[in-house]
Structures are given as C-alpha cells and as structure tokens.
Amino acid sequence: MKIVNLAVVGLGRMGRLYVDVVARCVERAKLVAVYTSSKAKCEEIAKPLGAACYNDIDALLRDPRIDGVVVTTPSHTHADVALMAVERGLHVFVEKPIDVDLSKARNLVEKAERMGVHLLVGYMRRFDESYREAKRLVDEGAVGRVVMYVGISRDPEPPPPGWLRDPKLSGGLVLDLMSHDFDLARWFIGSEPVEVYAVGGELHGGGLGDYDEVVTTIRFANGAVAVAMGSRYSPHGYDIRCEVRGTQGSIHVGAMHRHDLAVAKGGGVSYRGFEWFQKRFLNAYTAEIQHFANLILGIDERPLVTGRDALIALAIAKAVRESLTRGTPITVVT
C-alpha cells in the first residue's frame, strides 16, 4: 500500500495542530519531517514522532522522501514558502489565507498550475460534516435558488500578541477570520463576487490596532447577496454559524452553544459556548489533510478547495478593507 510522505513547515499554533493530524489521524500518510527556526522546538516535537527535524527550509525541500508540504508559517510568508515547494515539484497544502499579498498569491497559483502540482488552501469549514451536508442539500435544490448567505464568525478573544495581531502581517480580522465566510458564501451561492461594502471599528477598546467588529455585504454576479459579521470578542465562546437562504427555504449550520452540556438550576438552563476552533473543527482539519493525501495518491480526482478559491477569498478581503477605509462600495478585483 502506497504511503504519502508529508512535511509540516512552521510549528506555531497551527503547525502543531497539523503535526498531530498528519502523524496520528490521516490514513496512508506519514509525517517524515518538520521545519522551524528553533532547533530546540523542532527536536521537541519531531523526535517523539520519528520525524526528521530541519532548521533550514531549503534542506527540507531537498529531502527526496517528501511528496507534499503543509505550510503553516505566518500568513505573510505563505506564498513565498509555498512557491519554494512548488518550484521543486512538491504538492502543497497552505493554511489559510493563501497570503496577505494578492500579487504574490496570484503568482503562486499560476506557478502551481504550470507545474501541474496540487495547491490546496485550508478553508476547513468546507470539510466539516454539517457544512458539507448543507452544500449537498443546496446542490440538490432543497431550498430552491440561493439568494442570500448570512455568516457569523466570532472568536472568544483576540489573537495572542505577535504577528497575528498585526493586520499588515495577518490580514487582521477581515482576512484571518472573516475570509472563511467569504469562501463559504461563494461556495454556497455558486457565483462570483462583484462588489462589497463594509462598516466596522475598534469598538471594544482592546487596543488591538485593528477592527474588532466588522459587518460586510457582498453582491454576486447572479444577484445573490452575502452578509458576513466578524468579531474578536465573544464572551460566551467560539461562535461560528451561518444561514443559507433560498427561494424555497433556508438551511442553518452551527450554533451559539454546545447542546451536549447543560446546567439546570432554579434560574433556568444554561449552556456553555464552544471551545476554541481546534476542537470544534478537528474532524474538518483531519478531513482536509486526508483529502490532500488522497489527491497525491490519485484516490480523489478534484480538490475541494483550490488556490483559485483562496485567491478570490483574498480579493474579497482586500476589497472589504478598502471599503472600511474609504466608506464606499468597492469592486472586487482578482
């Protein structure tokens, strides 16, 4: 039985998650190498899993065993790192966003297409069972023609200090979090974005130097509309949900709280919010890497999320940020 040999590049919060997914959860895949600039961190994570430890990314990409690379470095380096792997003929999975720079992202997508390698981007909600079932129902016409997508994405707290808090490096709230809804809206609606209009501000007084509440509308070529709401503050917990409205009904995905745990007392019944994204979407993270491995093996024929999909999500995010700055509707240009 053929095995796909994968390497994880970057060992921050997402890198550690993907290391565990590749090493423990994905069938017919093997974690053979990891990269980070810190030798101590690299050895701490790699050795127990039997993976090679690299502090030189060029050396890792020259490892002849590697079939595919999972890129989890900071967002503003995604395209540069992924391009290095693509140029060596390696298949690449990039954690979202594809990058913060549209021209770099476009160059990466075009290069991967010319090289004939798979380039996937980690919009993992497409792999969640509930979202996939909703998509199946939409495609079967269960709600008629889709006319509106409404998405809510709220983190329980802002990102930790570091590059994630810098919108120039991470894309901020709009790209880092809300682009999931930009991607889903296009997926469900089945049309291309034309124009966006957004409002928002730093309303919670956290001193992040970025928007912490944003509402945006997206108009699509087929006339459908999407509304996406994003927040860095959700006291009740991780809050991810959406509604897909059609001419004959609607589909709801997600919830504000967990239904599997409730506390009943004299004042009523209370529910806990969802924990962080790692637990809410662990199965989706596993499914997307399994899909990556299956594409390399030839088991799956078509990628569920392509570099082009991620490029359009980035273009929407860029237009949203421009709309926030200028206070006017902005045309989406990919």
Between the alpha carbon of residue 138 and those of residues 133, 142, 145, 182, the distances in Å are: 9, 6, 8, 17
* Mean pLDDT confidence for 278-284: 81
Give me the number of domains the chain comprises: 2
Nearest by Cα to 185 from 136, 131, 222, 148 = 148
Task: Indicate whether 229 belongs to any domain.
Answer: yes
Give the tokens for residue 289.
């890497």
**247: containing domain:** 145-276+313-331
Q: Are residues 203 and 324 in the same domain?
A: yes
Q: Are residues 164 and 187 in the same domain?
A: yes
Q: Are residues 191 and 246 in the same domain?
A: yes
Per-residue pLDDT tens over the stretch 120-164? 999 999 999 999 999 999 999 999 999 999 999 999 889 888 999
Task: Indicate whether 291 belongs to any domain.
Answer: yes
CA–CA gap between residue 157 and residue 211 (Å, rounded)? 13
Q: Are residues 261 and 165 in the same domain?
A: yes
Q: Are residues 295 and 166 in the same domain?
A: no
Task: Indicate whether 119 belongs to any domain.
Answer: yes
Task: Indicate whether 139 belongs to any domain.
Answer: no
CA–CA gap between residue 331 and residue 334 (Å, rounded)? 10
Residue 254 region by backbone torsions, left for phi larger than 0, else alpha for psi between -120 and 50, else beta: left
pLDDT value of position 39:
86
Q: Are residues 327 and 193 in the same domain?
A: yes
On the question of pLDDT at 211 being above 60, the answer is: yes
Task: Indicate whether 326 belongs to any domain.
Answer: yes
- CB proximity list for 20: less than 8 A, separation 6 or greater: none
Task: Indicate whether 296 belongs to any domain.
Answer: yes
Angle at 298 between CA 30 and CA 32, to 5 degrees: 15
Count the Cβ atoms, other than its own, within 10 Å of residue 262: 11
Angle at 73 between CA 230 and CA 159, to 5 degrees: 35
Residue 282 half-sphere exposure toward CB, CA atoms < 13 A: 13
Count the Cβ atoms, other than its own, within 10 Å of residue 234: 18
Per-residue pLDDT tens over the stretch 220-273? 999 999 999 999 998 877 889 999 999 999 999 986 555 556 666 676 666 556
Q: Are residues 197 and 84 in the same domain?
A: no
Task: Indicate whether 135 belongs to any domain.
Answer: no
Under 8 Å between Cβ of 228 and 153: yes
Q: What percent of the chain has pLDDT over 70?
A: 93
CA–CA gap between residue 266 and residue 208 (Å, rounded)? 40
CA–CA gap between residue 32 and residue 161 (Å, rounded)? 31
Domain with residue 318: its CATH number is 3.30.360.10
Task: Indicate whether 134 belongs to any domain.
Answer: no
Q: Are residues 118 and 186 in the same domain?
A: no
Per-residue pLDDT tens over the stretch 258-267? 555 666 667 6
Domain with residue 65: its CATH number is 3.40.50.720
On the question of pLDDT at 89 being above 90, the answer is: yes
Count the Cβ atoms, other than its own, within 10 Å of residue 214: 26
DSSP 204-264: S----SS-SEEEEEEEETTS-EEEEEEES--TT-BEEEEEEEETTEEEEEEESS-SS-EEE
* Mean pLDDT confidence for 72-82: 98
On the question of pLDDT at 70 being above 60, the answer is: yes
CA–CA gap between residue 24 and residue 29 (Å, rounded)? 9
Q: Are residues 173 and 296 in the same domain?
A: no
Strands (DSSP E) found in 138-222? 146-154, 193-201, 213-220
Question: Tokens 């962080």 — which residue?
Answer: 276
Which residues face 93 on adjacent strands?
Answer: 70, 120
Q: Are residues 204 and 74 in the same domain?
A: no
pLDDT value of position 235:
83
Q: Are residues 266 and 242 in the same domain?
A: yes
* pTM exceeds 0.75: yes
Q: What is the mean pLDDT of the chain?
A: 93
Q: Are residues 115 and 179 in the same domain?
A: no
**Among 27-41, 138-152, 189-203, whose mean pLDDT is lowest?**
27-41
Q: What is the largest CA-CA distance in the chain?
A: 65
